[in-house]
Structure 1
Amino acid sequence: MIPSASKGTASRVLNAPIDKVWDAVCELDFSFWRLVQKSETLGDGDKVGNVHRVVFKDGTVQKYKVVEYSELEHAVTYELIESNPPTRATSALYTIQVRPVTSNNTSFVEWTSEFSMDGGVEVVQDSKYKKQEALEDLAKLVEG
Structure 2
Amino acid sequence: MSGPIPTSTSVSESAVIEAHLSDVWHLIKLPDFANFWSKLDKSERVKGTSEETDIVKWTFKDGTVLDVKQEEHSTIDHYITYSVISSKPALSYSSVVSTVRVYPVTSGKHEGHTYVTWTGNFSSDADAGVIEDAKFKRREALTDLANAVSQK
| Matching of residue 113 in structure 1 with residue 123 in structure 2 | no
Q: Report how many aligned residue pairs link the two structures.
A: 138
| Matching of residue 12 in structure 1 with residue 15 in structure 2 | yes
Kindly indicate whether the alpha-carbon contact (under 8 Å) linking 2:83 and 2:97 is maintained by their aligned counterparts in 1.
Answer: yes
Letter in 1 for 2:137: K
Distance 1:143 1:123 in 2: 30
Q: In structure 2, what is the equivalent of residue 55 of structure 1?
A: 59
Alignment partner of 1:113: what SS?
strand
Normalization by structure 1: what TM-score?
A: 0.91
Alignment partner of 1:98: what SS?
strand
RMSD (CA atoms): 1.4
The 5-angstrom pairing of residues 31-42 of structure 1 reads 31=34, 32-42=36-46
Runs of 4 or more above 4 Å deviation: none
- The structure in which a higher percent of residues are strand is 1
Letter in 2 for 1:26: K
User: 1:90-134 CA deviation, whole Å, 9 max, x = no partner?
Assistant: 101000000000121100000000001111111111001001001
Letter in 1 for 2:51: G
Identity %: 37
Alignment partner of 1:63: what SS?
strand
Normalization by structure 2: what TM-score?
A: 0.86
Q: Which structure 1 segments of 5+ residues have no match?
A: none
Distance 2:97 2:32 in 1: 17
| Matching of residue 21 in structure 1 with residue 11 in structure 2 | no
Q: In structure 2, what is the equivalent of residue 142 of structure 1?
A: 149
Alignment partner of 1:30: what SS?
helix
Q: 1:28 to 1:10 in 2, by over 3 A?
A: farther
Report the alpha carbon displacement of residue 15 of structure 1 after superposing the two structures with TM.
0.3
The 5-angstrom pairing of residues 55-134 of structure 1 reads 55-103=59-107, 104-134=111-141
Structure with greater Cα Rg? 2
Kindly indicate whether the alpha-carbon contact (under 8 Å) linking 2:73 and 2:79 is maintained by their aligned counterparts in 1.
Answer: yes
Report the alpha carbon displacement of residue 29 of structure 1 after superposing the two structures with TM.
2.7
Kindly indicate whether the alpha-carbon contact (under 8 Å) linking 1:29 and 1:54 is maintained by their aligned counterparts in 2.
Answer: no
